[in-house]
């Protein structure tokens, strides 16, 4: 459950691996004075852009806000966006917050021809106390940086990008729905803009972030069951590939399979792998199973991070909570007795 944290309470609180395990307060009222505390080991790269250089241009034509009760995922966008450009010759430019607008790309851009692009997905929530919070955002920043390295795109300082995102949310904080069934979706995107053909490292790149209020991803709602198609003919990722990276190339080819599932009356795809049909992911999500093993004991199980599946933030958070409940408390009110987590 989201809890407000300030500098007096969060120092020293980190999950395994140096990752903050609590939700960070990013905005407080209208002043937007608090700064996100980034815990754990950090790398401050001299070649990265700096949030202190952020330039802000406010929109002169703000858009009307949609009804929070009628939101459809990915159809509405806020008034502003964040952009940062990189070139091999000059390095990173200054980050800009500017009015939401189309971007211009050379027809030969590497993102269009060779899928040199990646993205992240995270959310900001408005709590009952009206504060706006992000959920473990450094996990998203770390995953985005790992994916950038795999795509041969230039690295950046995770802390600086997160602070730029915080300030973007601050500018558009009125777009965060006043609802417990809706949120503000945050889509950091990173593309190669190399203006020439040929499979090679990009000499130009664009990192940008857009925001939009969203409701539940599925039409059935956030906490209702979805039906699954499991067909071993279709494989999402494989050993030695990039299934553990959030690259756009991992998602486009799944649209056909998703459409085949819809034709048969299913909402999502249960992705299988190998001759023994190992379960890996569901659609674009990680999967957990809470079952009884062959001895009749309860067990919480999820596929391992072996390079095939994406290391999800929700996945890691569920594992952290489960390990804490089992190792520290043994049993928890409303939960079963002690059970193994694997």
Q: Does the pLDDT at position 27 exceed 70?
A: no
How large is the average pLDDT for residues 215-220?
72
Mean pLDDT lowest for which of 128-132, 297-301, 314-318?
297-301
Q: Which residue has the higher pLDDT, 194 or 324?
A: 194
Alpha-carbon gap, residue 208 to 188, rounded angstroms: 6
Mean pLDDT lowest for which of 54-68, 89-103, 108-122, 284-298?
284-298
Cβ partners under 8 Å of residue 117, min gap 6: 111, 151, 189, 190, 191, 192, 247, 248
Instruction: Work out the pLDDT band at 17, boundaries 50, 70, 90.
Output: very low
The H or E element spanning position 278 is strand 278-282
Q: What is the pLDDT of residue 217?
A: 73
Give phi and psi for 31, each to the nearest 5: -75, -30
Alpha helices in 136-278 (DSSP H): 137-150, 158-171, 254-263
Q: What is the pLDDT of residue 72?
A: 87
Cβ partners under 8 Å of residue 310, min gap 6: 143, 243, 244, 245, 246, 281, 286
Alpha-carbon gap, residue 16 to 147, rounded angstroms: 21
Q: Does the pLDDT at position 176 exceed 80?
A: yes
Alpha-carbon gap, residue 59 to 79, rounded angstroms: 7
pTM for the model stands at 0.82
Cα 23 to Cα 26, 43, 128, 302, distances in angstroms: 9, 21, 15, 23
How large is the average pLDDT for residues 122-148?
96
Q: What is the pLDDT of residue 220?
A: 61
How large is the average pLDDT for residues 116-135?
96
Neighbours of 32 (CB within 10 A): 16
pLDDT digits (tens, 9 = 90+) for 251-302: 999 999 999 999 999 999 999 999 999 999 998 889 998 888 888 888 888 9
Mean pLDDT lowest for which of 165-179, 240-254, 315-329?
315-329
Average pLDDT of the chain is 84
Name the burial class of residue 179, with classes exposed (0-12), middle (13-18) and buried (19+) by CB atoms within 10 angstroms of its CB: middle
Tokens coding 255: 């649209």
Percentage of the chain modeled with pLDDT above 70? 80
Instruction: Work out the pLDDT band at 39, boundaries 50, 70, 90.
Output: very low
Alpha-carbon gap, residue 271 to 314, rounded angstroms: 18
Q: What is the pLDDT of residue 208?
A: 98
């Amino acid at each position: 459950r989201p809890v407000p944290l300030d500098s007096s309470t969060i120092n020293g609180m980190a999950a395994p691996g140096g990752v903050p395990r609590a939700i960070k307060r990013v905005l407080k009222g209208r002043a937007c004075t608090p700064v996100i505390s980034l815990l754990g080991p950090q790398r401050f790269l001299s070649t990265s852009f700096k949030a202190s250089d952020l330039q802000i241009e406010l929109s002169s034509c703000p858009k009307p806000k949609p009804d929070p009760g009628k939101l459809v995922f990915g159809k509405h966008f806020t008034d502003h966006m964040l952009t940062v450009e990189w070139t091999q010759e000059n390095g990173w430019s200054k980050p800009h917050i500017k009015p939401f607008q189309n971007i211009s790309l050379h027809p030969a851009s590497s993102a269009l021809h060779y899928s040199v692009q990646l993205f992240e997905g995270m959310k900001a929530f408005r709590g009952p106390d009206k504060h706006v919070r992000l959920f473990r955002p450094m996990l998203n920043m770390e995953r985005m940086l790992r994916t950038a390295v795999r795509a041969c795109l230039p690295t950046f300082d995770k802390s600086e990008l997160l602070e730029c995102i915080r300030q973007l949310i601050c500018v558009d904080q009125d777009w965060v729905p006043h609802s417990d069934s809706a949120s503000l979706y945050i889509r950091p995107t990173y593309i190669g803009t190399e203006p020439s053909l040929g499979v090679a490292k990009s000499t130009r790149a664009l990192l940008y972030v857009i925001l939009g209020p969203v409701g539940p991803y599925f039409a059935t709602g956030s906490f209702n069951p979805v039906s699954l198609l499991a067909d071993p003919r279709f494989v999402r990722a494989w050993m030695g590939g990039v299934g553990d990276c959030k690259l756009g190339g991992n998602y486009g080819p799944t649209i056909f399979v998703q459409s085949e599932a819809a034709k048969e009356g299913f909402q999502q795809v249960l992705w299988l792998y190998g001759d023994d049909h190992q379960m890996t992911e569901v659609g674009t999500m990680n999967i957990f199973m809470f079952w009884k093993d062959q001895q009749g004991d309860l067990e919480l199980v999820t596929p391992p991070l072996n390079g095939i599946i994406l290391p999800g933030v929700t996945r890691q958070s569920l594992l952290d909570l489960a390990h804490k409940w089992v190792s520290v408390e043994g049993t928890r009110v409303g939960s079963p007795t002690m059970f193994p987590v694997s």
